Amino acid sequence: MLETAIRAAREAGRVLLEGSRGEITVERLAQRDVKLAMDKKAEEVILRIVREKFPGHAILSEECGAVGPKSDYLWVIDPLDGTVNYSRRMPLWGTSVALLHQGREIVGVIFDPIHGELYHAEAGQGAFLNGKKIHVSERAPLSAAIIAFGFSSREEQLRRGLAAAAQLPLAASKVRGLGSAVLHLAYVACGRLDGFFEFGINQWDIAAGVVLIREAGGKVFTRTLPDRSIDLVCNNALIHDEFMKQVGG
């Protein structure tokens, strides 16, 4: 299963990387989002690989939604996270492939083709970057930490996120917003960031990163909202209580 996730993320990433060097076709432009032809092309690659190997598994993907038979196994896919960055040729985007068993994240893969970085984790087996074991940072307290944030495209959740982030530049050492949730999560897992939060995020944005952070020794808090989006707060565990209090998670 891990091998299939890695293969799917790598092949989708290759397609996206090749596509980034040519003309980028915008299919739909919204106030806070954009949809590209490359989103669907990358998704098709992942779906083909997963279906060939595990035809009896269910799939949830950002572009096509829920597909496949009922199953204890659910593949959760974001073929291109950081689509706005990709559309503007900013090198901060990635592909995310996760597998859940009976609702629990057991496999997570995030691939950053621009920088040639593949993150993977399997429940109980640790987290890795390009085959080398990784661990969350040991930075504490919050005043010494580098914190990342993301904002939902949904107005209500965007306003909540803005309110929560308002005091972070005063409370933390540095605050960053990279425009890609999967990279924020991967960077927390490998210690480049000390924490990340976003309100009203989608399951496909975080499923792989949740496995990575837990297996790298970090802590993850999630809360499912009535619209099925998710509040997420994750960190290196050392700043968890302080961080949660600050953002009101």
Residues 6+ apart with CB under 8 A from 6: 109, 118, 120
In this predicted structure, the answer to whether residue 233 has a pLDDT above a threshold of 60 is: yes
- Do the domains 142-247 and 2-133 match in fold? no
In this predicted structure, the answer to whether residue 222 has a pLDDT above a threshold of 80 is: yes
The domain 142-247 having CATH identifier 3.40.190.80: the answer here is yes
**Amino acid identity, position 132:** K
Give the per-residue pLDDT at 154.
82
Give the per-residue pLDDT at 65.
83
Give the per-residue pLDDT at 37.
77
User: Which tokens hold the place of 78?
Assistant: 């974001």
**CATH T-level fold of 2-133:** Fructose-1,6-Bisphosphatase; Chain A, domain 1 (3.30.540)
Give the per-residue pLDDT at 204.
94
In this predicted structure, the answer to whether residue 31 has a pLDDT above a threshold of 60 is: no
In this predicted structure, the answer to whether residue 51 has a pLDDT above a threshold of 70 is: yes
In this predicted structure, the answer to whether residue 23 has a pLDDT above a threshold of 80 is: no
In this predicted structure, the answer to whether residue 35 has a pLDDT above a threshold of 90 is: no
Reported as a single tens digit per residue, the pLDDT across 131-180 is 999 999 999 999 999 999 998 888 888 898 899 888 899 999 999 999 99
Q: 86 versus 34: which is more confidently predicted?
A: 86
Q: Where are the domains of the chain?
A: 2-133, 142-247
Q: Which of 151-155, 237-241, 242-246 has the lowest mean pLDDT?
A: 151-155
Q: 51 versus 20: which is more confidently predicted?
A: 51
Return d(Cα 207, Cα 201) in angstroms, integer: 11
When the pLDDT of each residue in the chain is averaged and rounded to a whole number, the result is 92
User: Which tokens hold the place of 64?
Assistant: 């096509």
Task: Name the pTM for this structure.
Answer: 0.93
Percent of the chain with pLDDT over 70: 95
Percent of the chain with pLDDT over 90: 76
Give the per-residue pLDDT at 68.
82
- The closest of 173, 159, 153 to 239, measured between CA atoms, is 173
Specify whether the CB–CB gap between 81 and 182 falls below 8 A.
yes
CA angle 137, 223, 155 (to 5 degrees): 100
Average pLDDT over residues 90-113: 97
